[in-house]
Structure 1
Amino acid sequence: MSSISRLKYSAEIVDALATRKPIVALESTILTHGLPTPLNYTTATRLEAVIREQGAVPAHIAVIDGCPRVGLSDSQLSHLSLHSGNPLKISRRDIAPAAALHRTGGTTVAGTITLAAHAGIKHFATGGIGGVHRNAQSTWDVSADLIELSRSPTHVICAGAKSILDTPLTLEYLETHGVTVASVGEAAQPNYNFPAFYSPNSGHHVQYSLSPLQAAQVGIASQGLQSGALFCAPIPPQYAEQGSRIQIAVERAVQESQHANNNILGKDITPWLLNRIAQLTDNNSIHSNIALVENNARIGAQIAVHYHRLLEDKEKDDRVGEKMYPVGGSSGLGALSGLSDAPSTPQTQANVRARAIAETEAAMIAKSGVKVGAKVNANAQKDIPHTHTPSHTSAPADIVIIGAAAIDVTAQYDSKSEPHSTSPGRVTVSAGGVGRNIAEAAGRVLRGAAGGKSAILIAPVGGSNTNTSTADLLANSLRSSAAALHMRTDGFVDPPHNTLTPVVNLLLDNEGELREGVASFDALDQMPFSEVEKVLEKHSPHIIALDGNVSAGVVRHVLSYARARAIPTLYEPTSVAKSVRVLEAWEMWEEADSQLQSQPHSQPLLTHVTPNTHELRAMTQSTSFARVRESSAYWEALNALRLYQPFRDALERCLPRPFTQDGIAQMAVMLLPLTKHVVVKCGAKGVLLVSHVREDELGEVGIDGALLSTSKKDARVVHRVDTTSNADSNTHADAQYVLVQHLPPHTPDRLVNTTGAGDSFVGALLAALAHHQPLTKAIHLAQDAASLTLGSKDSVSARLHYLGDDLHL
């Protein structure tokens, strides 16, 4: 997989691309090479604030541990600013080696243009660009910035070329290679001077003087040209006077760099010169540098906002039928339309991703077959047309999910209702069900990852093709909506006799609060294991998941089936009321499995269980669990872990207080005789992972090597089980561990809806496990998925496919 295709987007940038907000890219060499610590970090955060103030979204770009990233978190900015690990200075030529060698570095202007273009980001604000160096006639030293500008449709907002360069030759190069160069500033004050970084006037002129709005208009008109534009903003007037004094220092530094004994070459020249200029000016050059970068960020954001408004207006006029134009590739040049982006170019692919999410809703609903204006997860259907997986395929599935697929019918009053009367309101129909949502989430992540892996849902969905009954209508609606989302439907089984496809009917008051509801799940309660087994036999899954809507009997048979074939399993409790079904299954299994008494703790019933804190409490305080704890098998398994006072003290000492004070960690440990891993979803508190593994399984969890130690700083407890009293446990491979790890929350950029975040978490977790990711890394991906859904009004965010790239890192 190429380094470019492994672009990792922050949640904020995913949202901005999908909702088509204006984005301004920012380079990161200012963090790694341009400014001293901590000024580099404070400047980076200030630039982001300036861009947000203008109504745009900032996107710092860098390469971290070999992964090209678009949009950086505060902790990532802080990490880069420390200059730790000898960060690289990454231009286009360095992207592939940095990715292959898992290196970290700041992207130069050229490197940032390259990655921004592939991400579909049109605007990039920086301090100044590189150019033709002095004495280039003998050194051939021409910055890659110029070459990248000539072949990428990116608009760069800067303060001209750095004053250490040969300005006339730089302008000549840009003209020869078709790069538009213009000054940009207030419309009332035209200015044709080409700035020279610290100075507002280099003594050379440009042909165009533009306002931010006019610069955006130039951007719209340039669509289809595969070359960029350079919009030059002079340094703010209050810094112009000292610019002339700084220029004297520039000339001296250049002379020193050319001294016979000064062996400074290539990419080392610019950092050396900037550092020397700062020394010669008592750091006044640094303050001027920061001022002009902030000014460029402000103007760049203004241009980006104007550009997106103009683009929306233009597309309203240009749109014909259902035809979609990529953001950077519509026929804006008329007679030059032959120069428009080819469908295979990276920039067009990124734009199609963003546009597809925003514009395919109508087409997807039309395909769904749902009538009378029904809404079947309309926004969730904004999928990516060119990455779909057929809804019917004979290929074995990598993930099998057994659970509920239901029609959700929601009615809401417009105003306060009168009893015994029909009232005005709204009725929506959508596809729902925990199992269905998990399957959708897993499928979206898998499709984003490519590689041909798929997820299948086994659920009772009835109806013939006659389309004459209620059963047919419900079933066809579910099948059609699944097909529209490219979900597999070959796992749907006929409901038992005299039962319907599951339906949930909710009644909301005028403020959106639930008044009452009816759930018809007879089909799931009565679904026999024989129907499930018929589908399972057609597949060789990496993992089997069940939701709590499945009957305890089917849960028991599926877990026995999986255990006999060494297939990992996952149980999603679904709700407080249904969480105990897996405990009821354990009771049935204990009675039926004669092997359990001989080796009670060698093979637990489950591999993973994923309760939230409410479900965890309900499980451990239920009468079913009380009966489980009465069995000798349970206590033999728990006692074998040797979880004595030192372990309990370590929990109190190392975990955040709520996890021990509220008993979350203790309750999760109590489930270890039943399952290998307990993944507790704790909402805003993050995730608590409790695992019992052999030493040779530590890599599967992702807690091994240097991480295999108790640490308060990392909120981790590592307990090596003392097996010396067991005669058959003397080998190195038989060593066992109980691991407790708190994983901090991934805070969403916005909170729109809490429904479906847990299902998205589980679906993404399954996708990561199917790609053999360590469990801790899989949980991080699942947290990203939950954050995206929290920021969406749909039960599963259409943006989960962006997470697929992480499965290849």
Structure 2
Amino acid sequence: MAATQLPWACRSCRTAIVRRYVFQRQKIASRTISTNSRFFQVSEEVSQAIAERRPVVALESTIYTHGFPYPDNLALASRLESLVRINGGVPATIAILDGVARVGLGADELVRLVSSPGALKISRRDFGFALGQTNPDGKRWNGGTTISGTMILAHLAGIRIFATGGLGGVHRGAEQTMDVSADLTELGRTPVTVISSGCKSFLDLPKTLEYLETQGVGVAAFADGRTGPIDMPGFYTRESGVRAPKVIQDEAEAARIIHSHLSLGLTSGLHFANPIPEEFSLPLPKMEAAITQALQEARAAGAKGAAETPFVLNKIKEITGSTSVAANRALVEANVIRGTKIAVELQKLEADQIVNRSPPGARIVNHNSAPIEKNPSKIDIPAPGQHQVSNTKPSHNANIFVAGSLAVDLSCDYIPQSQNQTHTPTQRTSNPSIIRQSLGGVGHNVARAATLVGANVRLCSAVGDDLSGKAAMDALAANGISDAGIHILPARTGSRTAQYVAVNDANKDLVLAMADMSILEQTASRSGQPSAIDEAFDSSWYPQMQESRPSHLVVDANWSSNTLARWLSAASLINAHVTFEPVSDAKSTRIFNLPPTTPLSIFPNALIHLATPNASEITALYQAARNSSALEREDWWLTIDAFGLPSSGSRTKLALATSPALVDQGIPQQCLQLLPFLPSICAKLGPAGVLVTQLLAANDPRLQSAVHGPHILSRNPAEIPEGVDAATVVGGVYMRLFPATEVVPKGEIVSVNGIGDTFAGTLVTALAAAKARGVNAGVEDFIDIAQQAAVLSLKSDQAVSPQLAKLKLY
């Protein structure tokens, strides 16, 4: 990736950005392999819970595959998941099933896991083999994940709390054997909090605590009603003879510790030891005797490494009888209850932070990614031509500029000659029709709609020095639109006035359209000679933008990519709100092919603030973003991470916010992917309505509004460091499907040619009017009025209905 694609900063900062970029790309590559492949899957329930920031508790699976026989293991698994639900959480049992790393198992999947013979025991080192190889029968492996393996998958899914039985540790005699559990090193590098009953009794507890300290892992024990010095629990026993490094009084205090730890972006985990319930605690001397005997028998049997722990546990069970089995169940259940209560308290902390957030200041740190930072300098965009920003007062008060096509439109409506004929014109022959001529073009239609609803508009476009051009200029005056922004290109340039021919069927649905918009697509010659459009921009349009300083600019995609870049740059220099009207599938993609000097920037420096595509244009934009590698940029990844959505997706949540049919089409998903570049998208979906998807800044009041709450798809609840503007960082995502205000029967449809342009012109006018009045309003406040305007045009024989004048917004 070229350096020009990195977030813009002052030149003195760019070396540091490039260095950080290399590190981030390594991190991103790792995450992509893990979460965007067939090897990793998060269940629908868990995905939705994570997206909604509900308390989720990870549960390991080796306790089922290697700790208890079938069907006892199934009963325990069901019991533990029930305990999580009863205490207000969502359980996420983690395992390998059919060669896939799974976070969250359904009931039938749980049965398959715990009843499968030969299940593997999966730690960090084992994932590649378990997922990449088959068993001797040629089938994919099933496996239970250890604490280490469970932590890895929990973190990938975005889960912070993990409740289990006993922690691995440093084995007795490790000075000779070097036998140290992978659980300890995993705690040193994975930010998940593990709640257990301490390390298993047959391990070396003092050495384990020393090792965890070296790994930078915070360790504490719950007081659980005790006072004075508190021991670390010894798994089967409440006391171990080894003092706890720190003591925690209750779940709320534990949640505050986790919240503080994660807010710093630390990459190590925490271990909270929860003592076994008192009535199940075994006497320490009795357990020590049983452990000594079990270890001696393990050495005699040659049980080493991964085989030692299950061997010793089985021997302890034989020696102590049913008492250790009952104790094991009790301590696991107590840990799951404690872990769920901590997750609930942590969720309360994060929710309170959103509601009671003090006035801004800062960036939001996503717990699963690097911080999102605002570069200190503005976007470094060279000013078009040689013009400088003028400080003189504007000579007119046009508050909306529209930069786009002005065309002569021909609408050909097919008229069947008999009821036996089809509703579609016949190819390769002449067809009877009604042909209407009117003034059109996307830019003109948007400007016309905005003018009718009360805006003072300046249309910036070009016509040729030909008959069509003269007719267009005359028609403009009749429509009440100023011609001050219309540049007549001389005949010597070979420029033709734009024309658009639409062929509609008997139902007035578009069958075929032909457009000649080449007049706006001119670019500089190979020798560097400026085009006629370049000269018009420098001599006419750019000075008008500087002089008038409109609050809003609407730009359509009929321009070349180079000219689009110049319009976006000009708007950025005067801080104008930019709306992008894609025009068509093919032309919409031009924004992802801007010249290197003006790359399409990302929130908070996005050059485009609002886009109004239809469904097919959304897909075209998404494909163009992928093909241009825009979805591989470092700043795109960081922004997407800050949304707070699970990497595996959130199909159920998206379906609830929109509709299952739209999710099947991929429309909401594609809108989310485009949000960093287009922070507000109004997808026009015809009879299905309008889908609004918006990236919200951290200080956006909608994040705290009960009215908008149902439409907040996700929030990023991390703290904002002091000194950073909250308006420059991601706060969440808003998604709402507005139903059509009126579904017009086919018999009442007169023309479909200008309804999208009418919608855009009305919407932008409403936004500009609100800003002029000092009203804090978003696009969602004006979708209905924009749809009403579109319906009027749908019923009109003109591209933009004159009836819009009844909807005065100024």
Q: Which TM-score bucket, shorter chain as reference?
A: 0.3 to 0.5
Structure with greater Cα Rg: 2
Q: How high is the TM-score relative to the length of structure 1?
A: 0.45
